[in-house]
Amino acid sequence: MYKYMRIQGREDSYITKYPKGIFGMCWNMIRDKILTEEEEKLFISINDWFKENLPEPEQCKNHETVITFFKCDTTEYMLEKIKPAIELLDKHNRPYDVVYTNFVGEIVYEDEWQVAVKVTDGKMTI
């Protein structure tokens, strides 16, 4: 049984130098005008749901060099909510990986659903 899960692309974030997470990938598709207006509204509704129902770590708000992982044992419902965003990645041929791990490095934030992990030079800090 794994403790943590992350959906990430294969392009690095300019902030962390670590692969972008699913939210960053979808925002980039909006920025690059890849999504239709309907798809954009769908993703924004998903993003809004997460902002309303999941605390946003201060480190993320401050654009610090952290990445987040979902906790596997408490996020089954959230994975259902994010599924349409995954389908947008599939539809627009955006490669991504679903990473499961027990080893995330230095946790700088934790709540019931997620952890934020410090990243240095594109690697999780231990």
SS3 at position 94: coil
Find, among 65, 96, 93, 102, the residue nearest to 82 by Cα: 96
Tell me which residue range forms the domain holding 69.
4-124
* Separation of alpha carbons 82 and 7, rounded Å: 10
Question: Which pLDDT band, with edges at 50, 70 and 90, does 115 fall under?
Answer: very high
Q: Which residue has the tokens 């955006």?
A: 94
Q: What is the pTM of this model?
A: 0.91
Q: How many independent structural domains does the chain possess?
A: 1
pLDDT more than 90, % of the chain: 74
In tens, the pLDDT along 17-54 reads 999 999 999 999 999 999 999 999 999 999 999 999 88
Candidate from 4-13, 74-83, 86-95 with smallest mean pLDDT: 74-83
